[in-house]
Amino acid sequence: MYQEIILDHYRNPVGRLILEPFDVEVHHVNPTCGDEITLRVKIDDGVVTAIGHQGQGCSISQAATSVMTELLEGRTVQQALDVEAGFLALMQSRGEGQPDEDLLEDAVAFSGVSKYPARVKCALLGWMAFKDAALQAVAQSVKDQS
Amino acid sequence: MYQEIILDHYRNPVGRLILEPFDVEVHHVNPTCGDEITLRVKIDDGVVTAIGHQGQGCSISQAATSVMTELLEGRTVQQALDVEAGFLALMQSRGEGQPDEDLLEDAVAFSGVSKYPARVKCALLGWMAFKDAALQAVAQSVKDQS
Amino acid sequence: MTSRTPSSVTALDVARIKADFPLLQRTIRDGKRLVYLDSGATSQKPSSVLDAERRFYEMHNAAVHRGAHQLGEEATDAYEGARETIARFIGAQSRDIVFTKNATEAINLVAYSLGNASFSDTVVGQSLSLQPGDRIVVTEMEHHANLIPWQELCRRTGAELAWLGVDDEGRLDLSTVDQIINDRTKVVAFTHQSNVLGTINPVAEIVARARAVRALVVLDACQSAPHMPLDVVELGVDFVTFSGHKMLGPTGIGVLWGRTEILAAMPPFLTGGSMIETVYMDHATYAEPPQRFEAGTPVAAQAVGLAAACDYLTAVGMDKVFDHEHALTSYALEGLASISGLRVIGPNNAVHRGGAVSFLVDDIHAHDVGQVLDDRGVEVRVGHHCAWPLMRRFGIAATTRASFYLYNDFSDVDALVESLDAAKSFFGVK
Amino acid sequence: MTSRTPSSVTALDVARIKADFPLLQRTIRDGKRLVYLDSGATSQKPSSVLDAERRFYEMHNAAVHRGAHQLGEEATDAYEGARETIARFIGAQSRDIVFTKNATEAINLVAYSLGNASFSDTVVGQSLSLQPGDRIVVTEMEHHANLIPWQELCRRTGAELAWLGVDDEGRLDLSTVDQIINDRTKVVAFTHQSNVLGTINPVAEIVARARAVRALVVLDACQSAPHMPLDVVELGVDFVTFSGHKMLGPTGIGVLWGRTEILAAMPPFLTGGSMIETVYMDHATYAEPPQRFEAGTPVAAQAVGLAAACDYLTAVGMDKVFDHEHALTSYALEGLASISGLRVIGPNNAVHRGGAVSFLVDDIHAHDVGQVLDDRGVEVRVGHHCAWPLMRRFGIAATTRASFYLYNDFSDVDALVESLDAAKSFFGVK
Ligand SMILES: Cc1ncc(COP(=O)(O)O)c(C=O)c1O
Ligand SMILES: Cc1ncc(COP(=O)(O)O)c(C=O)c1O
């Protein structure tokens, strides 16, 4: 489960910072273990220009959020949500998933985590926070335009 | 279980009437089957001079109340309660009791009932009603005297 | 009597089924054949259910939803897998299935949660609350479990209780349904099948009226889930409750099914571990359903056992179970009709009727009937069957009730009829 | 590490005990020896418990307290016999024992019943009710099960919640007990032994203060009843609650013990069948305790299983169980002290302390510790242990917790310590 790539991201996380300026901030908690994340996104013209996160969590949740940040920054919101959907499907595959390497890149390292149902929530903590934030940002921009 | 004596009392119950005059009336219910009894006692100078009962119930409850009426009328309250205690002990003996024939007379016929826990409450319905009524009568007379 | 031929031959191989039930192999009252006719109270269990429970304890037992270790994962899988099986059994989604300890707790859960709604922080929560003058409607044939929780909810909220009556045949009197289920009605709670009369109630008709006044509908399926195919979507109600022990499952487990959006709006009932989102000393927020309603260590082995019971019933086929019991009931009603001085309380024919058959025998109290039957190995229930108001409706204190299940056959009915004749002779009744 | 000698040799023949537990014979994570150190969450079950449950289903299963037939009598005897055994196990009378589905329901029962007291018809019932301004006192180390039901009761009644704090060593801070348990205090609810810290709380001291202000005392014995001899008379509290599954019993059963006269005054909680005296359409009256609090078909097979668990524990001897765990705990605390960067959350010595040992490892999140341990077959619990406010008190999110029971031995502790070393190496922590 602990691929080298996961441990690397855990030791040197990408985007572990208080993002400023930002468009949306969300706070998510994993009720089974108490881990928390505060995540901010900046979205310009439908593109995720920056993600910043803070909080506490295990190596899996920290590394998954770091990999996610690296992977999603610079993509359009739609692309980012497609990657998120792919990651979610992989995590729910209970070790049976055939990960799409083109789509998920380094995030395929988490395939092994999907065999441990109790850890899936860890891997998803940052991703769910991002999804929530992105959808809020979209909703906000629709409102601003109307 | 169904001794001839029980069936006789069931067919021709003693004291199945609305007693008038009376000192105390009680109403008891067996919550598991819904059987009911309304029982009245007349007590003069510490002697149970009359018992009357009405209600519905199975052969065991009807017969037990009938036997009780025959047995207790004419005794002092204290004697009656002693008989009641003996009958209660017999009923709780789960078929193991050595009934005191001198004390219980015809009521020993209910020994067999004590082997059927679900029927013990039937046999006791009238007896518990009597005990309740007798104790109320005693309490009342103490109050009247003071 | 024994020479009558069954009115229909059914598709079930009862001898084979019976062999799956260890208890049905035992004898009773000094070696007599056991004729178990009390499945309306609780059913017997096939070995597959007992094996499933035991396998859980011997192989996968650990704290569900709490352990991150392998055993914890296995236990969680077993528990959540059971939820899926049981959901499928009634055409539901597993997220809408809440496990309780019995149907009684399931009904109390709904009643208390609605009571708690007036303390809810949320607008949707508040919208479920009851006010003085609101009405809750039940029926006169309810089991105490589907009556007293509503009496108590009325007492706590000031709502009033009203009820649909029962006619002489033991059917609901729906002539006044539009007056009784009035505009102020917030909840309509009724039994799918009466545990005393056997009557199957017209769900669609009552649901239609309840919908017209926007009342929530709670269906007590304790006596239907074990005996007929159920589909919560077709039923069209808001809540369905039943108990595992009446449908080949273990004691200690009940089921509440609720509509997704209503469960989502409901405040919790029991509170504690595993139903929370965050907890502070002075307040807490709560998880989504079904977890919100499952406080504490869950009835895990029991869920696994009940899932095995559903698998067993599904393998037999719920339509076949229903047909078989229907045939037994017809046969029993014919047999009982042949006994003079015997009066069936409930429908006299097998139309819209399940296999609980209650009756009175002239001049013999139900307890005495039951005793003679028991002495002959025929196990029936006597008493008010936790439906005391229904007894009052018929002006009686108690009935004798025989109830059937998939492991009963025509010879069991014959034994019943013969024993009733014997009881009459014993008490010298013509 | 493995060459350390146990600080004391205990009287238990653990190898023989272990042989009684089928699950402990299995292997984990591809053939590794299973080291089960999560009994604080739930315990494993000896064969005698599983056999007792199965025997009930195969021989005596029927509706308890409802059937007049032989099977019904046998089932009732089994259930009430179990009540007697369990009562004896804690020095109680059986009429004061109420069965629930878990300890969480038992605590909710008390909280809801007190909440219902304001609707009571009787003066004694009313006397139990809470008013705005009344106080309920808990502690900062409570399991959510003994915290949220009181939060919710406060919300429903307008009472206020107050709590005793926890010091850095994980002991209750009693310096302000007289202020916190004040004259308006109606209920004091606290845990006998913390499921996180292992701390055993000073019952007598708290009871003395509660008595002085005439508050009811609720003792959460979930973590003590399984691990030490208990006597409700000596404890001097008003209610004791615990769960069967933590003490070798089945899932799906909890116990509430209450003082006779208080139970007698309390209004019902769950309502339905078997808890009634008489029932009319518009109202009902209720049976005496314990029936008043056991609505619906009871957790019969589970009671039988729990009684077998009590028999098993009694045969081993609860004092020996306590001594054995005490020795394991001392040994574990020594072993953990040898690991640099490891910090125990809770008392560092085995005085007034049970066998739940929580700790942090510097720079490794509890989840990661748990994962490495699990990969080596060592099953511990990680997280907030349903005591989230306690985590906040220590400024942490989660701990790793090892907890011991009679089937653990010193080699299990060695495996724990070795695996922690391995985790440190794996994550490159010194
Ligand atoms: C101290 C304590 N109290 C209460 C509980 C709740 O017990 P249950 O989940 O069995 O209801 C637990 C265990 O989870 C516990 O450890
Ligand atoms: C119609 C009906 N409703 C509710 C119940 C209550 O079920 P339980 O006792 O399993 O909670 C029963 C059975 O006792 C029943 O027959």
Average pLDDT over residues B100-115: 93
B63 Cα to the center of ligand 2, angstroms: 33
Longest CA pairwise span in chain B (Å): 48
- In contact, D268 and D287? CB cutoff 8 Å: no
C241 Cα to the center of ligand 2, angstroms: 9
Q: Name every chain B residue with its beta carbon within 8 A of the beta carbon of D65.
A: 32
Known catalytic membership, residue C386: yes
The tokens of D370 are what? Answer: 């748990």
- In contact, C91 and C237? CB cutoff 8 Å: no
| Nearest-angstrom CA–CA distance, D160 and C342 | 61
C68 to chain A, any CB pair closer than 8 A? The answer is yes
Residue B142 has a pLDDT of 84
* Type and span of the H or E element at C230: none
Q: Name every chain D residue with its beta carbon within 8 A of the beta carbon of A61.
A: 367
Residues making up chain A, counted from first to last: 146
Task: For residue C371, give how far its alpha carbon lies from the nearest alpha carbon of chain B (Å).
Answer: 9
C164 DSSP β-pair partners: C139
Q: Do D252 and C380 touch (CB under 8 A)?
A: no
| Nearest-angstrom CA–CA distance, D156 and D163 | 19
Burial of C351 (0-12, 13-18, 19+ CB in 10 A): exposed
| Residue D274 CA, closest ligand 2 atom number | 9
Q: What subunits touch chain D, counting only 3 or more CB pairs under 8 A? A: A, B, C
Site to substitute for ligand 2 among C139, C386, C405, most atoms within 8 A of C-beta: C386
Q: What subunits touch chain A, counting only 3 or more CB pairs under 8 A? A: C, D
- In contact, C65 and D69? CB cutoff 8 Å: no
C276 to chain A, any CB pair closer than 8 A? The answer is yes
B34 to chain C, any CB pair closer than 8 A? The answer is yes
- In contact, D400 and D359? CB cutoff 8 Å: yes
Phi, psi of B12 (to 5 degrees): -130, 75
Interface of D with A in 360-419 (CB under 8 A): 365-368, 371, 375, 382-384, 388, 391, 397-398
**Residue from D73, D79, D279 whose CB has the most chain B CBs within 10 Å, to mutate:** D73
Chain mean pLDDT for chain A:
93
Q: Name every chain D residue with its beta carbon within 8 A of the beta carbon of C59.
A: 23, 26
Site to substitute for ligand 2 among C195, C240, C388, most atoms within 8 A of C-beta: C195
SS3 D71: helix
Under DSSP, the state recorded for C118 is G
For chain A, domains (ranges, CATH) are: 2-139 (3.90.1010.10)
Percent of chain B at pLDDT exceeding 90: 81
Predicted confidence (pLDDT) per residue in C345-383, tens digit = 999 999 999 999 999 999 999 999 999 999 999 999 999
SS3 D258: strand
Under DSSP, the state recorded for D58 is I
Reading chain D (430 residues) residue by residue, the pLDDT tens digits are 344 555 455 679 999 999 999 999 999 988 999 999 999 999 999 999 999 999 999 999 999 987 678 999 999 999 999 999 999 999 999 999 999 999 999 999 999 999 999 988 888 888 899 999 999 999 999 999 999 999 999 999 999 999 999 999 999 999 999 999 999 999 999 999 999 999 999 999 999 999 999 999 999 999 999 999 999 999 999 999 999 999 999 999 999 999 999 999 999 999 999 999 999 999 999 999 999 999 999 999 999 999 999 999 999 999 999 999 999 999 999 999 999 999 999 999 999 999 999 999 999 999 999 999 999 999 999 999 999 999 999 999 999 999 999 999 999 999 999 999 999 999 999 8
A44 DSSP β-pair partners: A47
Residue C4 has a pLDDT of 52
D252, D268, D272 member nearest C145 (Cβ): D272
- Angle formed by the axes of helices D410-426 and D318-337, nearest 10°: 30
Question: Among A49-58, A101-110, B81-90, C6-15, where is mean pLDDT lowest?
Answer: C6-15
* Type and span of the H or E element at D312: helix D300-316
Nearest-CA neighbor of D354 among D378, D327, D334?
A: D327
Q: Is the pLDDT of residue C343 over 90?
A: yes
Predicted confidence (pLDDT) per residue in C173-221, tens digit = 999 999 999 999 999 999 999 999 999 999 999 999 999 999 999 999 9
Q: Do C73 and A117 touch (CB under 8 A)?
A: yes
Nearest CA in chain D to A116: D371
Q: Do C277 and A31 touch (CB under 8 A)?
A: yes
Q: Do D68 and B118 touch (CB under 8 A)?
A: yes
Predicted confidence (pLDDT) per residue in B26-51, tens digit = 999 988 888 899 999 999 999 999 99
Q: How far is the CA of C395 from the CAs of B34, C417, D96, in angstroms?
A: 12, 25, 36
Nearest-CA neighbor of B30 among B1, B5, B64, B4?
A: B64
Residue C3 has a pLDDT of 44
Side chain identity, residue A42: K
Going through D6-74 in order, the beta strands assigned E by DSSP cover 27-28, 32-33, 35-36
- In contact, D341 and D363? CB cutoff 8 Å: yes
Q: Is the pLDDT of residue C147 over 80?
A: yes
Side chain identity, residue C277: E
Query: What is the secondary structure of A100-132 as a DSSP string?
Result: -HHHHGGGGGGGGGGG-HHHHHHHHHHHHHHHH
Q: Name every chain D residue with its beta carbon within 8 A of the beta carbon of B33.
A: 68
C22, C36, C155 member nearest D58 (Cβ): C22
- In contact, A51 and A68? CB cutoff 8 Å: yes
Burial of B118 (0-12, 13-18, 19+ CB in 10 A): buried
What residue ranges line ligand 1, CB within 6 angstroms? Answer: C 273, 296-297; D 102-104, 143, 145-146, 191, 195, 220, 222-223, 243, 254, 386
Q: Is the pLDDT of residue A31 over 90?
A: no
D400 DSSP β-pair partners: D359, D382
The tokens of D211 are what? Answer: 């008595």
Q: Is the pLDDT of residue C2 over 80?
A: no
Q: Name every chain A residue with its beta carbon within 8 A of the beta carbon of D366.
A: 33, 58
Q: Is the pLDDT of residue C67 over 90?
A: no
Task: For residue C29, give how far its alpha carbon lies from the nearest alpha carbon of chain B (Å).
Answer: 12
Half-sphere exposure of C139 (CA within 13 A, CB side): 29
Nearest-CA neighbor of D215 among D236, D238, D192, D231?
A: D238
C136 DSSP β-pair partners: C161, C187
Q: Where are the alpha helices (DSSP H) in C30-102?
A: 47-55, 70-89
Q: Do C397 and B35 touch (CB under 8 A)?
A: yes
Residue A111 has a pLDDT of 94
Q: Name every chain A residue with its beta carbon within 8 A of the beta carbon of D426.
A: 2
Q: Name every chain D residue with its beta carbon within 8 A of the beta carbon of B118.
A: 67-69, 72-73, 76
Phi, psi of A121 (to 5 degrees): -60, -35
Nearest-CA neighbor of C167 among C206, C136, C140?
A: C140
| Nearest-angstrom CA–CA distance, A64 and A94 | 17
Q: Do C384 and B34 touch (CB under 8 A)?
A: yes
**Residue from A7, A11, A12, A35 whose CB has the most chain D CBs within 10 Å, to mutate:** A35
What residue ranges line ligand 2, CB within 6 angstroms? Answer: C 102-104, 143, 145-146, 191, 195, 220, 222-223, 243, 254, 386; D 273, 296-297
A7, A36, A58 member nearest D365 (Cβ): A58
Task: For residue B119, give how far its alpha carbon lies from the nearest alpha carbon of chain D (Å).
Answer: 7
Interface of A with C in 84-143 (CB under 8 A): 116-119
The tokens of D35 are what? Answer: 């080291």
Residue D167 has a pLDDT of 98
Nearest CA in chain C to B33: C383
Q: Is the pLDDT of residue C32 over 60?
A: yes
- In contact, C380 and C358? CB cutoff 8 Å: no
Nearest-CA neighbor of D276 among C242, C147, B91?
A: C147
Q: Is the pLDDT of residue A10 over 80?
A: yes
Side chain identity, residue D401: R
Q: Do C386 and D270 touch (CB under 8 A)?
A: no
B59 Cα to the center of ligand 1, angstroms: 49
Predicted confidence (pLDDT) per residue in C212-245, tens digit = 999 999 999 999 999 999 999 999 999 999 999 9
Predicted confidence (pLDDT) per residue in D387-427, tens digit = 999 999 999 999 999 999 999 999 999 999 999 999 999 99
Task: For residue C236, give how far its alpha carbon lies from the nearest alpha carbon of chain D (Å).
Answer: 25
- In contact, B120 and B114? CB cutoff 8 Å: yes
Average pLDDT over residues C136-142: 98
| Nearest-angstrom CA–CA distance, B51 and B68 | 9
The tokens of B44 are what? Answer: 């003069």
Nearest-CA neighbor of C79 among C101, C96, C63?
A: C63
Tell me the ligand closest to D275's alpha carbon.
Answer: 2
